[in-house]
């Protein structure tokens, strides 16, 4: 199998008749986002998410995942595609709403998906390659740097005591996402310090701990630190989370990208090896190809083999499925020139084709756990490798996404969500579970430039 060195700058856009079809759908969706206050009003009427006996609102103004911030990424991409159509002015209106929230309420969250890291990415996406919003960016980046350095020190102290929590390290809320944004702004000396100290922080997570008389990888998550009550019951001795959104595939992507972007130390290489070996070991060869379980229980780890049903109910999603986890292995292989990991990552992507007849278990077009997210990850791997089979998969997934467009929906695509015990079609405006994210994938596919926004996915 032929491999190439990953350089982070390849992109193979869609051309021809399909490009015209994407443009027509994209512009119809985009018009629904011209008025940020109307978007917010619509979203406030959408029923909340029901999870673990709680109801969670689907909209938060300053959120990258489900607020104005994530929609800024779409406005930035539309501005690059159609610079004369005023999308920069619309993007400015979205930024103004974020600014008002920060002035009125403050912002006390550093994270990528709910806090300051995501806002920095949003401003960068609207800056026309650093020619706009530099005052705002400098002020918020300075604030981010100071807070991040303080938080790194606190986390290191807790992790050294064995008090690791997923929300502290993961891509959504933790230092995986925070570190990726620091890397993006590493031309700033203090931001470079944040980046390097985040790399060092993960050395603590990659150190073994003694638990129940066993030497256990430091990324073991105890029962009380599981997110949901049913997981606490399912994993009484804790587990090892493999997913990209909340598991160790996220830190592996961050560390591998750090190495590929010039960070250089023996300890960094050692940590990449530790995480990649663990993930590589827990792959399952299913009848439909290579699959990873989302989690490995402590009991499975002790027995050194997965349970027979560990790959059941698998979905090819970014958050917990093969696309995210295989990408982490592939990046690790590129970072340390391990051909076995590169080949495993690519093979796992090619195996996804065996599951496309059922859309890899995905039902909506959205990013986190939908076909749009799978499309973006396949597109990224296709652009990096030029593999013809991946190109054909991309085109098939693109067709599926376009067929999911519904002009009767508020924003163009539906998310599928559990409401009153039933799976329902729900209008979502945002980046992670809404139409803005799907539109962003479509806009990127017809753009000639390699997009930057999927750094938020930790895949580049």
Q: Is 369 annotated as a binding residue?
A: yes
Please provide the distance, in angstroms rounded to a whole number, between the alpha carbons at the two ends of the chain: 22
Q: Cα–Cα distance between 320 and 209 in angstroms, integer?
A: 25
Q: Cα–Cα distance between 338 and 106 in angstroms, integer?
A: 45
3-state secondary structure of 84: coil
Residues in the chain: 460
The answer to whether the CB of 115 falls within 8 A of the CB of 129 is: no
The answer to whether the CB of 312 falls within 8 A of the CB of 290 is: no
- The conformation of residue 356, written as its DSSP 8-state character, comes to G
- Identify which of 203, 208, 216 has the alpha carbon closest to the alpha carbon of residue 300: 216
Neighbours of 395 (CB within 10 A): 16
Neighbours of 137 (CB within 10 A): 18
> Phi and psi dihedrals of 442, rounded to 5?
-60, -45
3-state helix, strand, coil in the chain (%, to 5): 55, 10, 35
Q: What is the dihedral sign for C-alpha 406, 44, 108, 231? A: negative
Q: Is 368 annotated as a binding residue?
A: yes
Question: Which parts are annotated binding residues for Zn(2+)?
Answer: 319, 368-369
Question: Which parts are annotated binding residues?
Answer: 319, 368-369
């Amino acid at each position: 199998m032929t491999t190439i060195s990953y350089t982070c700058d390849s992109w193979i856009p869609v051309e021809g008749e399909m490009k015209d079809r994407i443009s027509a759908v994209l512009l119809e969706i985009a018009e629904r986002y011209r008025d940020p206050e109307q978007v917010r009003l619509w979203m406030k009427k959408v029923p909340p998410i029901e999870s673990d006996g709680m109801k969670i609102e689907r909209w938060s103004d300053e959120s990258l995942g489900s607020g104005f911030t994530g929609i800024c990424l779409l406005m930035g991409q539309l501005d690059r595609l159609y610079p004369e159509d005023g999308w920069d002015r619309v993007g400015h209106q979205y930024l103004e709403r974020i600014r008002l929230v920060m002035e009125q309420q403050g912002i006390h969250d550093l994270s990528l998906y709910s806090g300051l890291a995501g806002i920095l990415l949003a401003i960068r996406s609207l800056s026309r390659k650093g020619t706009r919003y530099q005052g705002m960016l400098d002020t918020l980046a300075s604030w981010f740097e100071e807070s991040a350095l303080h938080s790194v020190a606190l986390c290191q102290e807790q992790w050294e005591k064995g008090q690791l929590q997923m929300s502290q390290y993961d891509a959504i809320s933790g230092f995986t996402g925070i570190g990726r944004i620091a890397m993006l702004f590493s031309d700033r000396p203090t931001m470079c310090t944040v980046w390097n100290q985040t790399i060092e922080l993960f050395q603590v997570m990659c150190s073994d701990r003694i638990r129940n008389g066993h030497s256990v990888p430091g990324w073991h998550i105890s029962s009380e630190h599981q997110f949901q009550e049913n997981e606490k019951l399912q994993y009484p001795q804790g587990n090892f989370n493999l997913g990209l959104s909340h598991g160790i595939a996220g830190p592996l992507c961050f560390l591998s990208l750090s190495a590929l972007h010039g960070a250089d130390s023996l300890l960094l290489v050692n940590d990449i090896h530790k995480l990649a070996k663990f993930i590589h070991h827990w792959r399952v060869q299913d009848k439909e190809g290579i699959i990873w379980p989302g989690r490995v229980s402590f009991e499975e780890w002790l027995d050194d083999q997965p349970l027979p049903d560990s790959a059941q109910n698998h979905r090819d999603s970014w958050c917990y499925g093969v696309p995210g986890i295989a990408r982490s292995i592939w990046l690790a292989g590129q970072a340390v020139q391990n051909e076995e990991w590169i080949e495993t990552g690519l093979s796992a992507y090619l195996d996804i084709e065996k599951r496309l007849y059922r859309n890899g278990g995905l039902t909506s077009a959205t990013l986190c756990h939908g076909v749009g997210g799978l499309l973006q990850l396949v597109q990224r791997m296709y652009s990096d490798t030029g593999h013809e089979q991946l190109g054909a998969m991309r085109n098939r997934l693109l067709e599926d996404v376009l067929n999911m467009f519904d002009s009767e929906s508020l924003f163009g695509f539906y998310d599928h969500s559990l409401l009153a015990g039933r799976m329902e079609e729900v209008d979502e405006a945002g980046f992670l579970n809404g139409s803005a994210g799907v539109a962003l994938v479509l806009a990127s596919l017809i753009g000639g430039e390699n997009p930057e926004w999927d750094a938020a996915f930790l895949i580049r």
